Each structure stands twice: as C-alpha cells, then as structure tokens.
Amino acid sequence: MTDKSGREPKEQRLGPVVRRRDQVQPGTTDQRLLDTAGPSDWVHQDPWRVMRIQSEFVEGFGALAELGPAISVFGSARTSKDAPEYDKGIRIGKALAEAGFAVITGGGPGAMEAANKGALEAGGTSVGLGIELPFEQGMNPYVDIGINFRYFFVRKTMFVKYASGFVVLPGGLGTLDELFEALTLVQTQKVTRFPIVLYGTEYWKGLVDWVRGSVVSTGKASERDLELFHVTDDIEEAVTLVTKEVGG
C-alpha cells in the first residue's frame, strides 16, 4: 500500500511493534538507551510502568514464596488503640499465630497494627503489605516482613495469593474494597476453598441486610452467595472458620 506520494510508506520495527508513516520514531532503541543526554520523560510512560508493575510482582512473590500458611486480616487504619476492635485485632492475630498461621495485614496502623501485634506477641510471622498513599501511614512496628507497593492491584494479588482466608474487622472503604474483591473471586471461582469471616455482627449487620434485601432480592446475586462469608462475634469461631479448610 502506497502513501499519498505513491511511495511505499516508511516503516520502523521496534521489537514486536511495527510503526509506519507519521508514527515512526526518530533514532533506535539502543540509541535512546545509550544517549544519557536524551529526554527523561520515558520514566513516566506506560511501557516503563509495566516494568515497575512486573518488578512489584517479582519482589512480592520472592518475599512471600516461603511464608507458609497465612491468613489476611483487614480492618480500619483509623481504629484507635483504646477501641474494642483494637483489642479484638490483637486477640485474633494471636489466635491465628497460635494455630500455626502467619498474619498478613496492610501494614498500617489501627486494626492492622493490632493483628500484627498479636501475631508477633504469639511468636508467629507478622507480614505487612503497605501501599503508597498521599497521606503517608508508614509500616507499623510489629511487622516482621514488610513490602511497600505502588499499585493497589499488585498488593491485592498478594493478599489473596499468599493467604488461605480473610478475617475482616470493622473498616472503611479500603476494607470494603478488599472484602468485595475476595467475594467476587470466590463467587466466580477464581479462587477456591477461601473462607471469609466478618468479625463484628453489629458493625456488619447493615451491609449483610442490604446484600440480602437489595442485591439478592432483586436477582443481582443468588441466595447461595450469602454462603460465601460468615459473620461472628466469637474469636475462636472466627479462627476455626477461617483455618479449618487448610488444616492449620
């Protein structure tokens, strides 16, 4: 196919990519790599972001590959140390560690810190998966293995890949995000044998009623989807439910 001048269009091959006409880029890949005086805007472009994403997966997989059985515990970063949920988080983290499970949290303060603290005090492995945020939280001091991520979706993969189940303490939008991500993965059979326990019946009652009364009743989900999670106020029951399928 010729261009408007009747000539064959200029063609450039960059690895698997073919560029023609006005999409041809000046120079070669090697030239741009070796030209230290060249522009630096490439570090903000999508191909470079893909490499950063890949590196985060590699670092996460490498750090957690030998972790052993683990449970992810979620909850609000805003939970104060004198709140009942903080004490419950400590007790849940301790009970999970005593059952032979590592405890994975988001690594931040509040309920996450409580679960990490409980795991550490019980002699278990305490893991924190942090995230880069505009309001810096930092890794809580009870984390044994800490990884900070730039991308939420990479971090969320680590929560699911290296955990055998979720315990969800009262929390906000981030906690709800993780909860519904897990529920969707189980519902669509992307993961199997993945128990999800909501701790705190009073806190979760409104959400459960809404799912049953609005989502299920209008056919947006099935009645059996309500079996994807358990709600309890009993720490021993929560730990039993979330660990029984992996024989921790």
Is residue 120 predicted with pLDDT exceeding 70? yes
Label residue 165 exposed, middle or buried (CB < 10 Å: 0-12, 13-18, 19+): buried
pLDDT reported for residue 175: 95
Could you give the CA distance from residue 176 to residue 156 in angstroms, rounded to a whole number? 12
Residue 193 and residue 185 in contact, taking contact as beta carbons nearer than 8 Å: no
pLDDT reported for residue 46: 74
User: What token pair was written down for 228?
Assistant: 């994807």
Tens digits of residue pLDDT in 50-92 = 888 899 999 999 999 999 999 999 999 999 999 999 999 999 9
pLDDT reported for residue 174: 92
Which helix (H) or strand (E) covers residue 138, if one does? none
- The confidence band for 15, taking pLDDT boundaries of 50, 70 and 90, is low
Question: Model's pTM, two decimal places?
Answer: 0.81
Q: What is the mean pLDDT of the chain?
A: 87
Number of Cβ atoms within 10 Å of the Cβ of 38: 12
Is residue 32 predicted with pLDDT exceeding 70? no
- The confidence band for 248, taking pLDDT boundaries of 50, 70 and 90, is very low
Q: Which residues contact 206 (CB under 8 A, 6 or more apart)?
A: none
Residue 131, beta-bridge partner list: 149
What's the angle, vertex CA 9, arms to CA 8 and CA 10, rounded to 5?
Answer: 120
- For the ranges 119-128, 147-156, 163-172, the lowest mean pLDDT is seen at 147-156
Q: SS3 of 172, please?
A: coil
Report percent pLDDT > 90 for the chain: 66
Tens digits of residue pLDDT in 208-220 = 999 999 999 999 9
- Residues constituting the chain: 248
